[in-house]
Structure formats: C-alpha cells, structure tokens
Amino acid sequence: RKISERHDKVFATGCMNPEEAAKQPRANAAFVVLARNKELEGVIQSIKSIERHFNRWFHYPYVFLNDGEFEQDFKDTITNYTSAPVEFGKIDNTMWGYPDWVDHEVAREGIRKQGDAAIMYGGMESYHHMCRFYSGFFYKHELLQKYEWYWRLEPEIKYFCDITYDPFIEMARANKTYGFTIAVKELKETVPNIFRYASAYKRKHNIKSKGLWEMFVEPQPEKQDSGDDKRAKTLPNEILQTEPGHQNIEDIDPENMEGEKYNMCHFWSNFEIARLDWFRSREYEEFFDMMDKSGGFWMERWGDAPIHSLAAGALLAPRDIHYFRDFGYRHTTIQHCPANAPARQLPHIPWYEKTTEDEKERKEEDDYWAMPDPPKENGVGCRCR
Ligand code: GDP
Ligand code: MN
C-alpha cells in the first residue's frame, strides 16, 4: 500500500484554482449553524469570513438551527450575506431540554451546584442542553436528513486563509470520517467521570482500539489516589426518573476502569467537517445513549467536543481522521495558524508511531517524515492574512 493510503496528509499545498475546483460536482453537504437571535452580529462575522475564503466559489447551503424561533429580521439579514441556499429550522423538545426519564429537579440542582463551584458554563442550563443536542441529536434533525456531510460553523469565528479546494470531496476521496483543525485540553472539572463511562462503553461492547483511543489516554498515569480520585466513583442515579435501567458504573463495568486515565485531549468541535452517517450509526447511537443515561450531561457539564472525540477514539482509526492543518481558523482566544504548520508535520502522538509493523514500510515512512520542511511560503495554507 502507498503511504498516502495509510497516513493523513494535507489535501492541498499552497493555492489551487478555486474556480476550477468549483466546476466539479458538489458533495451532498451543508454548513450547520446553531444560534440564537441575539447572536446575529457574531453569525454575520462568521458568514462573511467563510463566504470570502471559501463559499463564494462553492455555494454550499446553510442550515440554521435554534431551540427558539428565528426572528424574521435574523433570517432576512443572514440571507443577504450569501447567495447560497439557506434553511432555518426549529429544534423541538425531543432534541432539546430534559427528556422525561430525567428528574428535572435533580438535574437543576446538579446544575446549580456546578454554578456555585464556578465551573465554566456549569451553572447555565441552556449550555447543558446545547452540549447534549450537539452530542446526540443535531444529525437527526429533519433539515439535515438529506445530507451526507456537514461543516459546523459558529458565531464569532474567523478563517484566515483561502480554502481553494472542496474539503468534502477530498474527505470522501480519502475515505475520511471526521476532520478537525484544533485539538486542546478540556477543563477537568467539567468532565470528572466522562472517561470512566466512555471506557466502560468500550469494554461493555468488547471494542478493541483501532489505534485512535491511545490519543486520549494519559501516557503515564499518575499514582492512584492523587487528589483527583476523591471524585465520585459513579454519577448519582437519582437523576433517573423511571426504568431505563441502572447506569451505575459498577453495574455496567465491574472492572471500573483500572489503569487508564483521560488526558483531557479533544478535537475542538466548534469546527468540524464530518460524515453524518457515522453519527447515525448504531455504534455511535449506543455510545451516546450510554453516556446520556449516566446523567453526565446534567450532573457534570460534558461538552460535545469530548463526547465526539471519545466516540471517535472508541470507534474510529487514525486513518479515518483528517487534520485540516492548512485551515487558518480562530474562535475566541484559540487559533490555528497554518504558517506554523509545514505540510509534513509529524504529530507527536502515539497512534502515528503505531500504524505499521512492517519494517520496510516503517523505513519508507521514517525517511518521508525526515525530509526537510518546505520553506514557509511553500507550506500549507493559501493567501493567509
Ligand atoms: P462556546 O463556544 O463553548 O463558548 O459556546 P457558545 O456560546 O459559542 O455556544 C456554542 C454554540 O451553540 C454556538 O453556535 C451558539 O450559538 C450555540 N448555542 C449555545 N447556547 C444556545 C442556546 O441556548 N440556544 C441556541 N439556539 N444556540 C445556542
Ligand atoms: Mn462559541
């Protein structure tokens, strides 16, 4: 097999001709934007940026979603900033808010406590609902049913570089499932028990790592009983109002996650390009359902980013993931700048080192990565500014 089949590499070096690329057929894909009316200004900024750097050539449609109704002014304004098709949808209470198997009062109390503990967004009920929606529901929304791929867009983001090829088409061609541009560490106090449950899911379904799980495991687990382990061994199950079974971790997983510890790494999900059918798969659904039934979306403040990431860790292989190292991207204070990312950057994460056993392939691989980096102006990214 060729190296390119095994390794994730940049899809394009420097600038392509976007007008040529745009003559090719489109993927079955859309931008997905969850937003509130009051975020109009931030959404305009994001649309301007993605239109200028990409969508003025490619005209991919937008799907706007909201748990409330979009105001007419919001809709009219947005449609003025793009010539691409735009749809606006409402999220109903089957996808947002407390399901009936949850005791609302216990959940509210849990959220209140997180607020008192000054956990980032911990005391904000709507933020918990948003994270759960993006973890287990957006891909089931009726407006997304017709799509195979999505590109997540948030208010107040910025693209720095021109994107002069179609990333959906390249993802499909390279047989990729999930694409990211920034990976960061999660705030520990938002997810004290998330890894315990994700790990239990793996064992319950007898899932063997395909090489990506290791990305999320602390290489040298600290000694047991360091301060961290004072955390609860399980999430309180009073949150479960009715029957859907005990979800105490001891019942699911008697071994209770000996040995492995989450390193807090996750793909930053405010940017994502991914296949919807992966989220719609039985495996992902089972994963989400188990995480959901633990109550962690309320009793802790599990983000959709670590949820997507740990699901990828359990279910996908390194070759299924694409790192968009050529996308200049910024959200709030964190950014990715392609000028710092040579085309053949070797990430220092274990799964890259484990991808082959074959000696000859291994050498070929090492030689390839050992080649000097191209000069910056020939690196990845196009007209970054
Ligand atoms: P942060 O990026 O983690 O600081 O969180 P944001 O406030 O940007 O929220 C993430 C995404 O969810 C953004 O697209 C927001 O517009 C959206 N969002 C957050 N809370 C709500 C909500 O209550 N209703 C709606 N409709 N969208 C929300
Ligand atoms: Mn945001």
Strand partners, 62: 31, 86
**What pLDDT sits at residue 268?**
97
Distance CA 324, CA 345 (A): 12
CATH number of the domain enclosing 86: 3.90.550.10
Q: Which atom of ligand 1 is nearest to the CA of 35?
A: 16
Task: Give the ligand whose atoms come closest to the C-alpha of residue 125.
Answer: 1
pLDDT of residue 338: 83
Give the separation between CA 116 and CA 269, rounded to whole angstroms.
26
- Whether 158 is in a domain gets the answer yes
Whole-number CA gyration radius for the chain:
21
Ligand with the closest atom to the CA of 303: 1
Which listed residue (154, 186, 272, 300) is catalytic?
272
In the prediction, which pLDDT does 249 show? Answer: 53
Residue 120: per-residue pLDDT: 96
Q: Which domain holds residue 148?
A: 3-338
Average pLDDT per block of 10 residues along the chain, 385 residues long: 56 89 97 98 95 95 98 97 97 97 94 97 98 98 98 96 95 97 95 94 94 89 50 56 48 60 96 98 97 95 98 96 93 83 46 54 63 57 81
H-helix or E-strand spanning residue 335: strand 334-336
> Which atom of ligand 1 sits closest to the CA of residue 67?
26
Residue 291 lies in a domain: yes
Q: Tokens 């940049």 label which residue? A: 10
Distances (CA, A) of 9 to 4, 60, 260, 325, 349: 7, 24, 29, 9, 15
Count of helices and strands (H, E) across the chain: 16, 12
What's the structural domain count of the chain? Answer: 1
Instruction: Please tell me the distance from the alpha carbon of residue 206 to that of residue 185, in angstroms, as a whole number.
Output: 27
Q: Is 20 a catalytic residue?
A: no
Assess if residue 171 is contained within a domain: yes
C-alpha distances in Å from residue 382, one per residue of 15, 326, 336, 385: 5, 8, 14, 9
First to last CA, the chain: 38
**What number of other Cβ atoms are within 10 A of residue 315's Cβ?**
24
What is the complex's ipTM, to 2 decimals?
A: 0.99
State whether the beta carbon of 91 lies less than 6 angstroms from ligand 1.
Answer: no
Sort 259 into a burial class: Cβ within 10 Å, 0-12 / 13-18 / 19+.
exposed
* Residue 352 belongs to a domain: no
Give the model's pLDDT for residue 184. Answer: 93
Residue 94: C-alpha distances to residues 9, 100, 101, 241, 285 (Å): 40, 10, 12, 17, 15
Report if residue 317 sits inside a domain: yes
| DSSP per residue, 298-330 | HHS---HHHHHHHHHHHH--GGGEEE-TT--EE
Task: Check pocket membership of 305 for ligand 1, CB cut-off 6 A.
Answer: no
367 domain-assigned? no
Query: Is 343 inside any structural domain?
Result: no
Distance CA 75, CA 65 (A): 11
Backbone φ and ψ for 157, nearest 5 degrees, come out as: -115, 170
Residue 9: what pLDDT? 86
Cα–Cα distance measured from residue 79 to residue 208, given in angstroms and rounded to the nearest whole number: 46
pLDDT of residue 217: 94
Give me ligand 1 centre to Cα 385, in Å: 27
In a domain, 382, yes or no: no
